[in-house]
Amino acid sequence: DTEVTQTPKHLVMGMTNKKSLKCEQHMGHRAMYWYKQKAKKPPELMFVYSYEKLSINESVPSRFSPECPNSSLLNLHLHALQPEDSALYLCASSRLGGADNEQFFGPGTRLTVL
């Protein structure tokens, strides 16, 4: 299995809703990532988990809350989002260590905040 899966594919939520995005990989990778991508822009790193521990938080607002329940799963909990948070949310994973850091991306969740 060489893919990263993400659910749901599309999500529409109101500013008062609470929702979660899910990501899964079975490649034995020990680093997992959340990126945010706006239209016609490159992915922007949000969070990095290594060995299920949060190692990088790129000053992301607290309305985004990541969680790594185990080495195969990564969640992103959403609460009180703003319309400007509408974007494609990408999950990725990679092996740990060294300069060999190929990241495998999932298909993303298209999020719309009304």
Partner 1 sequence: GESVGLHLPTLSVQEGDNSIINCAYSNSASDYFIWYKQESGKGPQFIIDIRSNMDKRQGQRVTVLLNKTVKHLSLQIAATQPGDSAVYFCAENTGSGYALNFGKGTSLLVTP
**Interaction site with partner 1 (CB under 8 A):** 4, 31, 33, 39-45, 48, 50, 55-56, 90, 92, 94, 96, 99-108, 110
Positions of E strands within 1-86 = 4-7, 10-13, 18-25, 31-37, 44-50, 53-57, 64-70, 73-79
Helix and strand totals (H; E) in the chain: 0, 11
Token output for 96:
């740990």
Nearer to partner 1, 11 or 31 (CB): 31
Strands 109-113 and 10-13: parallel
Closest contact distance (angstroms) between CB of 2 and partner 1 is: 10
Q: How far is the CB of 80 from partner 1 (least distance, A)?
A: 26
Cβ closest to partner 1, residue 68 vs residue 92? 92
Q: Which residues contact 38 (CB under 8 A, 6 or more apart)?
A: 44, 87, 88
Residue (37 or 72) nearer to partner 1, CB = 37
R_g over Cα of the chain: 13
Distance in Å, CB of 49 to partner 1, minimum:
10
CB of 16 to partner 1, least distance (A): 28
Nearer of residues 15 and 101 to partner 1, judged by Cβ: 101
